[in-house]
Amino acid sequence: MKDYSEYTDQVLTQMMLRKDELAYTEIYKRYWSLLYQHARRMLQNDEEAKNVVQDVFLTLWTRAEGLELSGALASYLYTSVRNKILNIFRKNKIANEHLASLTSFIEHGENITDHQIRERELSEIIEKEIARLPERMQQVFLMKRNENLSYKEIALEMGTTELTVKTQMTNALRVLRKKLGPSTFHSAFPFL
């Protein structure tokens, strides 16, 4: 019987792509612990980390025949774990600092700037939530945020009272804080 532990990642990958279960098992043994530790550092949750790694390996096996791995196996696995974690963060609307910290844990793979991508995605989420505010509330919020006008200046421009402007702003902030979560809200609107 062959000793699969002596094969390189490249050879094991080629064998696994042909549905060699022993090659897959060797890859699993070789990388499960490393990927789990990586996921655990990012998620700070044992069960979520195990689930992420299990999902990556399940996907690797079930889609093995159709996979086109152009780079190193380690890069593919780390990138898969990273992407699953980013999806978890996105779903939970975790603040930007968590998303940016992911890149420092990538040992292999592409050197794209995830931070800029995540920042853009977060900005899009924030803008969508602002766009969902009622029209007058949105107008007050944007005048305060974009033009840095006082409540008095906004009231004059809108032809209303300062109290109405203050109430609209308070309501807008309450809605956005609820929709975005406290940490995302405060990182997005440090002026408030």
- pLDDT tens digits along 89-148: 777 654 455 445 554 554 444 444 555 666 777 778 778 888 888 898 889 888 887 788
Is residue 53 scored above 90 in pLDDT?
A: yes
| Domain ranges, ordered by start, for the chain | 4-114, 132-188
Closest by CA to 162, choosing from 151, 177, 148, 175, is: 151
**CATH of the domain spanning 4-114:** 1.10.1740.10
CATH 3.50.4 fits 132-188, yes or no: no
Contacts for 123-130: CB closer than 8 Å, 24+ residues apart: 125/93, 125/180, 126/176, 126/180, 126/184, 126/188, 129/175, 129/176, 129/179, 129/180, 130/176
Does pTM top 0.75 for this prediction?
A: no
Q: What is the structure's pLDDT at 93?
A: 57
Is residue 72 scored above 90 in pLDDT?
A: no
Q: What is the structure's pLDDT at 37?
A: 92
**Quick one: which H or E segment has residue 68?**
none
